[in-house]
Amino acid sequence: MIDVDGVHLALGETDVLSGVDCSVPEGEFVGLVGPNGAGKTTLLRTINGLLVPDAGTVIVDGDDVADLGSKALSRRVATVPQTTSLEFAFTVEQVVEMGRTPHRSRLDWTDATAAVERALARTETSHLAERHVDEISGGERQRVLLARALAQEAPVLVLDEPTASLDVNHQVRVLELVRDLVDDGRTVVAAIHDLDLAARYCDRLALLHDGRIVAADAPETVLSPSNLADAFGTTVGVTESELTGSPQVTAVADRPERDARVHVVGGGRPGARALGACWRAGFDVSVGVVPTGDVAATLADDLDATAITAAPFAAVDRATRAAVHDRLVAADVVVLATDDPDPASAAALEECERVVDWRAGVEDDAVADLHWSPAGGAGAEPGAPAADAAVVDAVLDELPGATGDD
């Protein structure tokens, strides 16, 4: 439906798009993601004809956008802008009516057609029809703009940050509606700032960085920690949301490089939190033994860290014990994040005892390297995860050569 081929575009002296290639098949919902200034809005504007590429072509439904007049293009591509000056006392119905402009002759003054009513009904704004657009809320406004675009009855819908400045409820409602439209056969391209929402609702994502598309694929593939780290210039953790099953991106500003290994003993939320805290602090982390499917194991997978797992409620076999033993020996610090061990953690604890005994036998001063931390940390409720900072501080204290000022 949309083919963007080799598009270059400079605004003033700045190259905003430098060779963008992407295509959007009919009936797909493609989300444009990327950092501020990556060129998302600019790319959308080449698709809806507001900007003309310096080089390259944008083909919509078989024709070059540059060859289509504004009217012909607006019958194919409807736009929901990010901001619009709606401070005039037009009624909601009048604004939605303006969506019919591409289908009207200049002298045709008829209003309130079936298309307008359909658009109002679809976006649940019928009850606002007589209200003035300058008197409705931000969420209602966004739905009215969507209604205006629906009234255009164009096969392609372009949305620029449809959820920016909306509350969680309205964000989801707007995107659910867009998703419904896609399921009805519309083709949608949307610039979406919120990566989690983009991943949840889009069929595919295109990651823009420095005026180029660096990845375009299914959300799970595009939103990899390495892609995101390159594009956004910060460390990110990508986890899977238990609620929606879609990727969830957490940016971690300035994850320091620390040349130290930390092994976490203990699963469940305390283990996962200790693992997350140590990973964010820049340690090379591992966890285990934890039951397969434990949150700590899932988190370790998401963070590309090692998790030593055993089948739940089963005895821990010899090989697994050996694996955790190796980890414990190699670790600079071990964090114990459990005080009510399940069978898997109990096995890991036993290994810990042995490692401590062994280490104590080999080097006298190595005992201090092993940090034994009761779950919850000092002063916390029993069983509750220790505060992230407390875990990291405790680990740093136990590191060989710790100065206490890091």
**What residues from 47 to 76 belong to the interface with other proteins (CB under 8 A)?**
48-50, 69-71, 73-75
Backbone phi, psi, residue 208, to 5°: -100, 135
Q: Which amino acid is at 340?
A: D
Residue that has been written with the tokens 């698709």 in this structure: 47
Q: Does 142 bind other proteins (CB under 8 A)?
A: no
Which is nearest to 189 in space by CA: 211, 216, 166?
216
Among 77, 300, 386, 394, binds other proteins (CB under 8 A): 77
CB of 52 to other proteins, least distance (A): 10
CA neighbor of 159 nearest in space, from 57, 47, 52, 67: 47
Give strand pairing partners of 158.
79, 189
Nearer to other proteins, 63 or 167 (CB): 63
Terminal-to-terminal C-alpha distance of the chain: 55
Task: Give yes or no for a contact between 248 and 241, defined as CB atoms under 8 angstroms apart.
Answer: yes
Candidates 27-35, 85-93, 292-300, 332-340: pick the segment binding other proteins (CB under 8 A): 85-93
**If binding is defined by CB under 8 A, does position 318 make contact with other proteins?**
no
Share in percent of the chain as helix, strand, coil (round to 5) = 40, 25, 35
Could you tell me if 20 and 212 are in contact, meaning their C-beta atoms sit under 8 angstroms apart? yes
Q: Which of 220, 231, 170, 167 is nearest to 198 (CA)?
A: 220
Query: Which of 94, 126, 224, 298 lies at the binding interface for other proteins (CB under 8 A)?
Result: 94
The per-residue DSSP string of 294-324 comes to -HHHHHHHHTT-EEEEE-TTSPPPHHHHHHH
- By CB under 8 A, is residue 78 in contact with other proteins? yes
Nearest approach in angstroms of CB 311 to other proteins is: 58
Torsion of CA 70, 72, 77, 82, to 10 degrees: 20
Q: Which is closer to other proteins, CB of 89 or CB of 368?
A: 89
* Binding characters for other proteins, 282-311, by CB under 8 A (x = yes): ------------------------------
Q: Which one among 39, 53, 102, 377 touches other proteins, defined by CB under 8 A? A: 102
Cα angle for residues 406, 259, 281 (degrees, 5° grid): 50
Given 124, 134, 180, 340, the residue binding other proteins (CB under 8 A):
134
Instruction: Please count the residues of the chain.
Output: 406
Q: Does 101 bind other proteins (CB under 8 A)?
A: yes
Residues in contact with other proteins, counted by CB under 8 A, come to a total of 37
* Rounded CA separation 37/273 (Å): 34
Q: Least Å distance between CB 380 and other proteins? A: 54
**Considering only 78-86, 236-244, 286-294, 323-331, which stretch makes contact with other proteins by CB under 8 A?**
78-86
Residue 112 has phi, psi (to 5 degrees) of 55, 55
99 binds other proteins (CB under 8 A): yes
CB 156 within 8 A of CB 61: yes
Asked if 382 interacts with other proteins (CB under 8 A), we say: no
- Pairing, β 187-191 against β 204-209: unpaired
Q: Which is nearer to other proteins, 87 or 363 (CB)?
A: 87
316 contacts other proteins (rule: CB under 8 A): no
Q: How far is the CB of 47 from other proteins (least distance, A)?
A: 10
Q: Are 115 and 62 in contact (CB under 8 A)?
A: no
Using the rule CB under 8 A, which residue among 152, 163, 248, 338 binds other proteins? 152
For other proteins, the closer of residues 98 and 251 by Cβ is: 98
Binding residue for other proteins, selected from 89, 218, 251, 360, defined by CB under 8 A:
89
Shortest approach of other proteins to residue 103 CB, angstroms? 8
Query: Which residues lie near other proteins (CB under 8 A)?
Result: 45, 48-50, 69-71, 73-75, 77-79, 81, 84-90, 94-95, 98-99, 101-102, 104, 106-107, 109-112, 134, 148, 152
